[in-house]
Each structure stands twice: as C-alpha cells, then as structure tokens.
Amino acid sequence: MDLYSGHINRLIDELSGLPGIGSKSAQRLAFHLVNLPQDKVKRLVKVIMDAKENVRYCKECFTLTDSEICPVCANAKRDHSTIMVVENTRDLAAYEKTGKYEGIYHVLHGAISPMLGIGPGDIKLKELIARLEGDVSEVIIATNSSLEGETTAMYIGKLIKPTGIKVSRIASGVPVGGDLEYIDEVTLLRALEGRVEM
C-alpha cells in the first residue's frame, strides 16, 4: 500500500536515486520541494538544467567547469609545473579548501579497478601523460587510500618514472579506505606536506 500519491512517490523515488540520499532524506526533500513557492521550484529546476547544459570538463585538467578552462588552470599565479592527480572533482575541491596547495590538478574521473572492469583506458591517464610533455617538474599522486586508489597510484608511478619527472604520493594521515572528500583540511594538509617520492 502506497502512503502517498503517485506524484509524491515518484518524486521520492527520483530523489532517493541521488548519491547519499536515503529514503528518509528523499522523503524530507520531497516534502520540502512540494511546499516551496512555485517561483523557487522553477528557479531550482532552471539552475539544474543550466548546469546540465553548460557544465563540461576543463580542457586541461578535466575538472568540471562552465568555461573552456577552469579557474585553477587559468590562474597564472598557480605553479603550473606541479600537477596533483586526483580521482574526482570532489577530491580537488577538498584540497582547494586547505588553501595551501599552489599547483594545478589532473582529474582522472575514476580509479583502476579490474574487479569492476575499469582499466587504464577508462580513466583520464592518456591525457595526464600528454600534459607531461610540457614544463612539469613534479606529479603528486593524491588518489584515495583504497585498493583501487593504491593500484592507480602504482600504475601512474611506473608510467612517469622513466620520464625523469619527480613522482610523489601523498603521505599517510589519510586513513586506508578513506575518501578524500570526507577528510578534514588539517589531515589533508598533513598528507600533502608529508608526501614521499615514489
């Protein structure tokens, strides 16, 4: 037996399909949205559609942006000779919150996971290697401390070592199995400052 009408049930179903939103959170969000004034709902829908239509990958680092080049890559004050490799845009945002990293990034959009059928060709590794042809002195590998993150870090390290470019890995301080987006800024900063050459 359905507790609510078809429209509310469909709204709850759609919201519960979003990452991190369980059925209770979806229910709260659905009731909140239904009770909002119509102009606010229309504004929210427009913002979502505008983002969907205009957000794309930065042509240099592959983070999400609504410009051809993201603000980090476009900033001439950043150290463009140091590239930090992260798994996703949320990890990039976590490091940016520390306010201490002054280099640029490369977003892989995933990690190597043979069990899930994700190989080196399924993430942005070719694009990373192409960027190394420029004036790059160090690559900091900041993938998660999961099995997939460690596998990806080792693979990248082996690819880059022969080029003579310094390759370092963020230090522990980030717990094994921990996702960077959920780690506090102090721990992230400690991990960055304590990185070791691979």
Alpha helices in 36-162 (DSSP H): 38-54, 71-74, 89-98, 125-131, 147-160
E strand or H helix at 7 = helix 6-16
pLDDT tens digits, the chain, 198 residues: what are they? 466 678 899 999 999 999 999 989 999 999 999 999 999 999 999 999 999 999 999 999 999 999 999 999 999 999 999 999 999 999 999 999 988 899 999 999 999 998 889 999 999 999 999 999 989 999 999 998 788 888 899 999 999 999 999 999 887 666 656 676 767 676 677 677 667 676
pTM as predicted: 0.76
Among candidate residues 109, 97, 91, the one with its CA nearest the CA of residue 170 = 91
Domains defined for the chain, CATH in brackets: 6-54 (1.10.8.420), 69-197 (3.40.1360.10)
